[in-house]
Amino acid sequence: MPGASPTPDFARVDLEIATIRAGRVLGRIHRAAYPAPLGFGKNATRFSDPRRRIEDNRFGVLYLGSTSKVCFLEAVLRDQRDGVVGEVEIEEAEITDRLYSEIAIGRTLNLVDLRGDWPVKMGIPSDVVRGRTQTLARKWSLAIYEHPAAVDGIIYPSRLSTEVNLAVYDRAVPKLTPRSTGPLEKAPHIGRLLTDFQVALV
């Protein structure tokens, strides 16, 4: 049974806020066709704006990962290893057509914390973070975005590992500072990640 959608009462919930201080460095993997380290779109993603209306009136989301590993899992490998014994083959272009950027927190971020048991305490269904289907997560993201607390985004555990991701709302992107950008194939630990997850490039 799918989780419940947010109701207007959610605006009265005391949000659990995680504060991410300036100076912390996170990563992101993005297509080389869109090289801007802080670029983001408004296409359908886990925490994107679900409303169908003029694009300029919808909020955007920039995703960051706490490590290069979680970035790799979320952006490249995803569910391709499901049911696979031994090596999993992926197109070499999945690596060579991407960039890896390091992003520093320039000013403090205040993020709704969806780790641990905080979602339960706020009445947010587990499917928002753990579900493969992302429709419910988008509804809750809109409710979080419109909450009077005016948070900068969401911090949440990866569905694919124990590590965490950040979903930063467009209004808070100016708080971020690019540090470096380069080809994904030269990113830290990429060779080890391909080996650890038994990925064969074809």
Local structure of 29: helix, strand or coil: strand
pLDDT (0 to 100) of residue 28: 97
Spans in the chain with pLDDT lower than 70: 1-2
The domain spans of the chain are 8-84+100-183
Check: CB of residue 22 under 8 Å from CB of residue 109. Answer: no
| Domain 8-84+100-183 CATH assignment equals 3.90.175 | yes
Phi, psi of 177 (to 5 degrees): -130, 120
How does strand 98-105 pair with strand 25-31? antiparallel
Strand ranges for the chain from DSSP E: 17-20, 25-31, 61-65, 88-90, 98-105, 109-113, 153-157, 164-169, 176-183, 199-201
pLDDT (0 to 100) of residue 56: 76
pTM: 0.94
pLDDT (0 to 100) of residue 2: 65
Measured CA angle at 92 (ends 66, 33), to 5 deg = 65
